[in-house]
């Protein structure tokens, strides 16, 4: 018999009728992305009988296509990072000349070869995720899942036939999908899905947006030789990040040859013989081979029939959940981007793990959203953990100390590349606790993962200072920043609209 559901150490008092009822599954998961697969596998390891459904695999998602592995693995973080690696070689080849490598003036780049390698890798990963589910004893169904009631899922198979399964618990893990702006000609643009599978590398690319996806694809295409114009609604990219670091990223993007258009929006796209004509709200016009809309993502809930069970959604369409990822319907849960909490793959994994512990291991566990590190894989990358300077001041009771280090990476002293690495620590003046860390420069994500452990453990600035550095490395700068760049009081909070 499926276990009872404990919350805050107490067993949930389900009715005897519910306890005695027979269910096809202890858990049925709709959506086999990172969070769904993690929840399914861990729940099965705790002894639950688990079913999971996912749309058939295709690199570009739609209402009828998806794939086991989800957005991150198939059309997000993983293929994006492969393209970032590919784009990085453009700059590396330039830099190699001053390191003695005699390289012919013209170096050809074969986009189709990289695209095929990328495709081969995501097909391989799709197979690995299927095997992970199978090895855990999870029953995988291919098709579209919908909620038919508090304890019932309807599955539409590939041939159109419908099946229904009962489950004591249902987990919604359908992620999110890219959005397009409502402008004339928007059908001529693409989203990140299509950008990862373009048949031809664009020579002229226009990117609309200022978030992760926008700056990453701008960096990718520029690194591969395209002319790139990046249109931002604000003055700086990456709203929500530390303002000082946002300015560093903007400077680096421009230094790499990307044309930034701050406080500018697109108003219309028109197809012409020479490409796509792009018109802006400033009256500018330019031609592009591709226009990427990196204008946000929305929770993927429209086709789930959640209203049938009375599941509450917020105004963005996200599933509303409590601290344990439970909806207002006790038998229905949700994890990952579909809840629009912190939309990162490792966070979806954490939420899936916590769900399984809470429901099937008798260990009520709330996801912990403190000190989660994250990275923007621009070229060079930005990575952060903890609070930005603005967030620290907003939450501070007293003064905040800011430590910064700006330097020319050792590699650049020989290559001649004019691109600074910037590091930053934000410290509580009273407790000496390090509240946040940021870095923009080569290897920033690799370095920040280690810094995140320190912040999670509550490290102080004195402990950073007493740590011996690795020399010569960029990372050692985090333990050698002795001088306070500035001391800011909470009353002097910077207000920004950048």
| 71-126 pLDDT per residue, tens | 999 999 999 999 999 999 999 999 999 999 998 878 899 999 999 999 999 999 99
Where would I find the beta strands (DSSP E) of 341-419?
Answer: 374-376, 382-386, 400-407
Q: Which of 24-38, 90-104, 458-472 has the lowest mean pLDDT?
A: 90-104
**Residues 6 or more apart in contact with residue 298 via CB below 8 angstroms:** 176, 177, 179, 316, 317
Angle between helices 212-223 and 243-255 (to 10 degrees): 20
- pLDDT given for residue 76 in this prediction: 95
Q: For a pLDDT cut of 70, what percent of the chain falls above it? A: 94
Indicate whether 20 pLDDT > 70: no
For 278, 290, 484, the CA distances from 271, given in Å and listed in that order, are 9, 11, 54
- pLDDT given for residue 490 in this prediction: 79
| Size of the chain in residues | 498
**Residues 6 or more apart in contact with residue 98 via CB below 8 angstroms:** 414, 415, 416
Indicate whether 251 pLDDT > 70: yes
What does 457-490 look like in DSSP terms, one character per residue? TT-BHHHHHTSPPPSS-SGGGGGT--S-SEEE-G
Mean pLDDT of 176-195: 96
Which listed residue (22, 58, 282, 471) is catalytic? 471
282 noted as active-site residue:
no
Residue ranges of domains in the chain, CATH in brackets: 25-178+298-361 (3.50.50.60), 181-294 (3.50.50.60), 373-489 (3.30.390.30)
Indicate whether 344 pLDDT > 60: yes
Dump pLDDT digits (tens) for 366-392.
999 999 999 999 999 999 999 999 999
Distance of CA 4 to the CA centre of its chain: 34
Q: Which of 199-208, 212-221, 393-402 has the lowest mean pLDDT?
A: 393-402
Indicate whether 279 pLDDT > 70: yes
- pLDDT given for residue 494 in this prediction: 55
- pLDDT given for residue 417 in this prediction: 94
Angle at CA of residue 23, ends 151 and 164, nearest 5° = 60
CB 6 within 8 A of CB 12: yes
- pLDDT given for residue 492 in this prediction: 58
Selected residue with higher pLDDT from 59 and 361:
361
Dump pLDDT digits (tens) for 145-159.
999 999 999 999 999
- pLDDT given for residue 6 in this prediction: 43
- pLDDT given for residue 337 in this prediction: 98
Indicate whether 5 pLDDT > 90: no
Mean pLDDT taken over the chain: 94
Give the position of tokens 């229905």: 332
- pLDDT given for residue 4 in this prediction: 38
The token pair that represents 135 in the structure block: 């090895």
H/E run at residue 18: helix 16-20
Say whether 55 sits in a helix, a strand or coil.
coil
Half-sphere exposure (Cβ direction) of 422: Cα atoms closer than 13 Å: 22
H/E run at residue 169: strand 162-172
- Write 104-109 long-range contacts (CB < 8 A, 24+): 109/201, 109/224, 109/225
Mean pLDDT of 222-239: 97
* Number of neighbours of residue 36 by Cβ within 10 angstroms: 28
- pLDDT given for residue 2 in this prediction: 39
Indicate whether 64 pLDDT > 60: yes
């Amino acid at each position: 018999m499926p276990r009872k559901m404990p919350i805050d150490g107490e067993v949930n008092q389900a009715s005897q009728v519910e306890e005695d009822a027979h269910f096809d599954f202890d858990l049925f998961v709709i959506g086999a992305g990172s969070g769904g697969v993690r929840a399914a596998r861990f729940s099965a390891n705790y002894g639950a009988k688990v079913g999971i459904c996912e749309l058939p695999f295709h690199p570009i998602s739609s209402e009828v296509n998806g794939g086991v592995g989800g957005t991150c693995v198939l059309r997000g973080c993983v293929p994006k990072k492969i393209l970032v690696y590919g784009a990085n070689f453009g700059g590396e080849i330039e830099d190699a000349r001053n390191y003695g490598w005699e390289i012919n003036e013209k170096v050809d780049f074969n986009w189709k070869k990289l695209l095929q390698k990328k495709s081969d890798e995501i097909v391989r990963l799709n197979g690995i995720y299927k095997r992970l589910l199978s090895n855990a004893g999870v029953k995988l169904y291919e098709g579209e899942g919908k909620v038919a009631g508090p304890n019932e899922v309807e599955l539409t198979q590939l041939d159109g036939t419908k099946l229904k399964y009962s489950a004591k618990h249902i987990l919604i893990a359908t992620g999110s999908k890219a959005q397009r702006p409502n402008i004339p000609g928007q059908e001529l643009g693409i989203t990140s899905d299509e950008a990862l599978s373009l048949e031809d590398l664009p020579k002229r690319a226009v990117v609309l947006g200022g978030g992760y996806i926008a700056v990453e694809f701008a960096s990718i295409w520029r690194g591969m030789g395209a002319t790139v114009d990046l249109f931002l609604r604000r003055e700086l990219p990456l709203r929500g990040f530390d303002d000082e670091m946002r300015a560093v990223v903007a400077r680096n993007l421009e230094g790499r040859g990307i044309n930034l258009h701050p406080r500018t929006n697109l108003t219309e796209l028109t197809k012409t013989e020479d490409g796509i004509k792009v018109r802006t709200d400033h009256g500018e016009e330019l031609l592009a081979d591709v226009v990427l809309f990196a204008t946000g993502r929305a929770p993927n809930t429209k086709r789930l029939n959640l209203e049938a069970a009375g599941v509450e959604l917020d105004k963005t369409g996200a599933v509303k959940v409590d601290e344990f990822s439970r909806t207002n319907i006790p038998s229905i849960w949700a994890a990952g981007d579909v809840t629009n909490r912190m939309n990162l793959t490792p966070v979806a994994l954490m939420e899936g793990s916590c769900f399984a512990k809470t429901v099937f291991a008798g260990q009520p566990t709330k996801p912990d959203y403190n000190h989660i590190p994250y990275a923007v894989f621009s070229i060079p990358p930005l990575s952060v953990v903890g609070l930005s300077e603005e967030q620290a001041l907003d939450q501070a009771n007293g003064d905040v100390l800011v430590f910064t280090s700006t330097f020319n990476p050792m590699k650049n002293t020989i290559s001649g590349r004019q691109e600074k690495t910037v590091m930053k620590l934000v410290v509580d003046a009273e407790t000496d606790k390090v509240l946040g860390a940021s870095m923009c420069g080569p290897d920033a994500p690799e370095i920040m993962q280690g810094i995140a452990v320190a912040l999670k453990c509550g490290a102080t600035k004195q402990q950073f200072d007493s740590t011996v550095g690795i020399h010569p490395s960029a990372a050692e700068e985090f333990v050698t920043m002795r001088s306070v760049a500035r001391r800011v009081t909470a009353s002097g909070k910077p207000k920004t609209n950048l």
